Structure 1
Amino acid sequence: MTKQKDVYQRPRYALSSVDHVLRLIQILRDTGGARLSDIARELDISPSAAHRLLTMLVYRDFAVQDESRAYTPGPSMGAPPSPSPWTRKLKSLLSSHLELLAGRLDESVSLMFRTGVRTRVLTTLEGRQPLRVGDRTGLVQDARLTAGGKAILAEHDQAFLERLYRSNSAKLAGGYLNDAEFGGLVRTLEETKRLGYALNEEATEVGLHALGMALHSADGGVLASFAVLVPASRADVLRDPRTLALVTEAQTEMDQAIRAAGLRLQA
């Protein structure tokens, strides 16, 4: 049982910068969106300071900017706590493998898992090149668009996909796909199964390309996925036979580590 809070009192050593970020999140959550000038006035800070805070929220997917340049809640804002207790163990188990792959390719590599129709990035190991894809840890994105998400979905059967995207619960949750959208997804996943990997060609953000592969639990079911992330200027590296060989080898080694640890979805 959660202990009831006695008094809502400002901490003696409150950090104003942290307080501004938390209040900004509350503003976006409770109003549905606001312009830069409104946020600066509400927080009683300069527009430049408000812009810096908003830039970080956009980077971490807690805010997005719409066509009118107003800021609205991003995907991370409404994401519930993860119901998957095994994710911390998975991250710890695979961190060295991801670091090794990032070093061999000199490109960024992310580990993610699926919750409903979205993926969540558990960790990112960055490459060392000056122009590289930065940390995406914590991002919550549409599984149909991310390379890792498509790699996971491709391992599920048609009946599961229909429950996820075509059921009454999908309508209630806002994830329902019409005939054309669902047909397009099925064709994409069939191509993913044929290739053995999934591609994201600027589907989630301009300038980002990715290659994703699924990871499997100790009982053989799909557990999570990982993706190699590159800037658009180096997109060709994802189709290089050397890259595919290294990524496939990493998948095999990580699957072996998961089996050896006995890690399952219910763990």
Structure 2
Amino acid sequence: MRNRPAYTVESVDHALQLAMLLRQEGTVRVTDAAAALGVSRSTAHRLLQTLAYRDFAEQAPDRSYRPGSLLATGEHTSHPYAALRRVARPHLHELATATGESANVQVLGGENAHVVVYVEGAAWPSVGDRFTREWPARLTSGGRVLLAHLGAAELDATLPDVDDRLRGELELVRRRGYAVNDQLTEEGVTAVGVLVRAPGTMAPLAAIALAMPSERFDVQQLPGWVGSLTAASALITRDLAAEPDG
């Protein structure tokens, strides 16, 4: 289980997270960067200017920032997720407080699942900061939930090498309404995820997950965790509908 080192250079960590955010989303505004990192707008502005100076970012005519020539673009998510972060964060805090476990929100970007919001749980040991981390979607609990709700043609386009075994596993996830990642992405970490739907259309938008040390995973608690995740997911969808761009 890989957690944050005891001694980190915070400014470097923020710059690296911001670089990953640019790579994942393609476009980032100063205000969105500040909210995502939990820093002031002036700090976010300085970080973005430094990335631009070193060609990891460049400023667009509308004053937003996009990946620079030295930052591999990879697979972007479909659009910036500032509103999702803003709405989801308080619900993740409530979820982490209620369960003691770390909570995150994931979105699809090509074949990968990207963590766009993260809140660490209070139980010790905890699953540390996963913000801007990404893994193959077929392995994460959130990624599996999202893949399970794709249509057949969209799944084939997203995962060209999908086989019958994975199709069967995803169908089971869809029927159950949740997915479990038991050490598929990190040794010693188990996670449970459910779907977050977009307001209005109710189309798959994201996934919300609880991650915990595998030693604390208890199948007897699974219904309770799924219930808490499902309730938080519904609240996120509700609150997104009230957003100006929701």
| Interval containing the TM-score (normalised by the shorter chain) | 0.5 to 0.7
Q: Distance in 2 between matches of 1:242 and 1:120?
A: 25
Q: Distance in 1 between matches of 2:98 and 2:124?
A: 16
> What is residue 80 of structure 1 aligned with on the other side?
74
> What is residue 202 of structure 1 aligned with on the other side?
183
Pairing 1:217–2:198 present = yes
TM-superposed CA distance for 1:85, in Å, is: 3.6
> What is residue 94 of structure 2 aligned with on the other side?
100
> What is residue 26 of structure 1 aligned with on the other side?
none
Listed as ranges, the gaps of 5+ residues in structure 2 are 1-8, 17-70
> What is residue 232 of structure 2 aligned with on the other side?
250
Pairing 1:191–2:172 present = yes
SS of the equivalent of 1:220 reads coil
> What is residue 234 of structure 1 aligned with on the other side?
216
> What is residue 136 of structure 2 aligned with on the other side?
142
The one-letter code sitting in structure 2 at the alignment partner of 1:223 is: L
The one-letter code sitting in structure 1 at the alignment partner of 2:242 is: A
TM-superposed CA distance for 1:237, in Å, is: 5.8
Match of 2:85 among 80, 88, 91: 91
> What is residue 73 of structure 1 aligned with on the other side?
none
TM-superposed CA distance for 1:79, in Å, is: 5.1
Classify 1:146/1:78 alpha carbon distance in 2 versus 1 (closer, same or farther; 3 Å). Answer: farther
Classify 1:194/1:85 alpha carbon distance in 2 versus 1 (closer, same or farther; 3 Å). Answer: closer
Identity between Structure 1 and Structure 2 (%): 29
Matched-pair contact (CA < 8 Å) for 1:196–1:213: yes
Classify 1:238/1:222 alpha carbon distance in 2 versus 1 (closer, same or farther; 3 Å). Answer: farther
The one-letter code sitting in structure 2 at the alignment partner of 1:243 is: W
Number of matched residues? 180
TM-superposed CA distance for 1:215, in Å, is: 0.8
Q: CA RMSD in A?
A: 2.5
Q: How does 1:1-267 map to 2 (within 5 A)?
A: 78=72, 80=74, 82-166=76-160, 177=161, 182-218=163-199, 219-236=201-218, 239-261=221-243
Classify 1:80/1:256 alpha carbon distance in 2 versus 1 (closer, same or farther; 3 Å). Answer: same
* Partner deviation per Cα, 1:99-157 (whole Å, 9 max, x = no partner): 11111111000111111110111121011112111111111110000000001111111
TM-superposed CA distance for 1:202, in Å, is: 0.4
TM-superposed CA distance for 1:165, in Å, is: 2.2
157-166 vs 210-219, which deviates more?
157-166
Matched-pair contact (CA < 8 Å) for 1:112–1:148: yes
SS of the equivalent of 1:93 reads helix
Q: Distance in 2 between matches of 1:146 and 1:79?
A: 22
TM-score (norm 1): 0.62
Q: Distance in 1 between matches of 2:180 and 2:234?
A: 19
The one-letter code sitting in structure 1 at the alignment partner of 2:126 is: R
TM-score (norm 2): 0.66
Listed as ranges, the gaps of 5+ residues in structure 1 are 1-14, 23-76, 167-176
* Partner deviation per Cα, 1:45-91 (whole Å, 9 max, x = no partner): xxxxxxxxxxxxxxxxxxxxxxxxxxxxxxxx855373544311210
